[in-house]
Structure 1
Amino acid sequence: METRKQIRERLKQKRDSLSQAQVQQWSAEICKNIEAHPWFVQAETVCFYYPLGKEADLRPLAETAWSMGKKTAFPRVAGREMQFYQADSFTEFAEGSFHVMEPVGTTVIYQEDALVLTPGLGFDWQGARIGYGGGYYDRYFAGRPHKYKLGVAYAMQLVERLHPKEHDVRMDGVAAETGIMIVR
């Protein structure tokens, strides 16, 4: 059986081998799938992430959310903790921890009914997530009962079983270019 480290490395290599054209195409399809889903349509607040490397790029969806008048937020890391901060345009970002673009604003956003779009290196059919190993999202979700936690990945990053640890927070669904899988 593969270790978590081996799974993480294998999935990262698969994702990193994508062409930029494939990333753009699949990202556009993922954005379209999320935009049409009731969780997004009904959400007043949507928490995004700024793509790192060849992660699915949801920036066009954030622009759609802004045009719809939705409150949007992006993560910022301080030490071992992560919070979501309001952002109203992509001019409000600067390079932060781990070379990820982070919002520069000071308004922390936390709403229990927010839709949180969550990146990951992989997800399984039960909603388990494997990230980069820092535990930022798991710590963020601990004690925060968000209404919807939607993992975001390419279909090739979906695996049958990840064997999550006790502290790993499961997603309520996973969005890919092939559609949205609800797991709760």
Structure 2
Amino acid sequence: MHMLREEKNKLRDIMRERRNSLTPEEKRIKSEQICKNTFAIIKPGETVMGFVSKEAEVNTRPFLEMLLAAGNPLVVPIIVKEDHSLRLSYLKDLNHLVPSTFNVPEPIGHEIPVPDGAVDVVILPMLAFDKYGSRLGYGSGYYDRFLDKNPGIKTVAMAFACQEAEKVPTEEFDVPVDYVITENGIAFRKK
């Protein structure tokens, strides 16, 4: 168990370095393409829980704008550190986002509660993925816990192609994804 955790942390460091080696212009261009590729697999009317990117992550803002413009209900997570959970809020305006827990933009002061079972698709952040649909997150398990409590939701991870690993080390609580989308298109689709 301890060795697996070390292996995951080492892979996180490698992938952060890969992701950080992209120039701002490369990130912008690749992020825009990833957003278009991801939007292409969203059905009209699906309620989408999207993450609001920070730092060197794929810039999800264009994707979130596409969802709002298309009329898809948009939900964003709010991190609850006390019990390592996610509280959900509808988001109608990206200008309502302010940096909050872990510097993640959240709609603090503009929360619109989301009823259980309302989300059709979850867009996931990640540091690494592999050809088997395994995803390596940041290590806190917020999304894995959410998905464990909400089975059956379509899961889509957005990443730069350079974040692909030969094999992501996994544990029993790690939830594989249904899709991995990169700037090159669909890198993984669950059969």
TM-score, normalised with respect to structure 2: 0.89
The whole-number CA distance in structure 1 between the counterparts of 2:152 and 2:66 is: 22
Match of 2:74 in 1: 72
Task: State the 1:43 CA deviation.
Answer: 4.7
Question: What is aligned with 1:33?
Answer: 37
For residues 10-56 of structure 1, what are the alpha-carbon distances to aligned partners after superposition, in whole Å with 9 as ceiling and x for unaligned? Answer: 0011111211101100001111111222xx02452111111111111
The equivalent residue for 1:154 is: 160
Contact 1:85 1:106 in 2 (8 A): yes
Instruction: Name the count of aligned residue pairs.
Output: 182
1:108 maps to which residue? 113
Which structure dedicates a bigger proportion of its chain to strand? Answer: 1
Percent identical pairs in the alignment equals: 29
2:174 maps to what in 1? 168
Deviation at 1:107, TM superposition (A): 2.3
Which consecutive unaligned segments of at least 5 residues does structure 2 have?
A: none
Give the 5 Å matches for 1:83-94: 83-94=87-98
Q: Is the 8 A contact 1:45 1:72 kept in 2?
A: yes
Q: CA RMSD in A?
A: 1.7
Q: 1:178 aligns with which of 176, 179, 184?
A: 184
The residue identity in structure 1 corresponding to 2:62 is P
TM-score when normalising by structure 1: 0.92
Query: Which of 131, 138, 149 is the equivalent residue of 1:143?
Result: 149
CA distance in structure 1 between the aligned counterparts of 2:7 and 2:168, rounded to whole angstroms: 9
Farther off after superposition, 139-148 or 69-78:
139-148
Aligned to 1:21: 25
**Retained in 2: the 8 A contact 1:150–1:171?**
yes
1:120 to 112, 121, 126: 126
- The answer for the alignment partner of 1:60 in structure 2 is 62
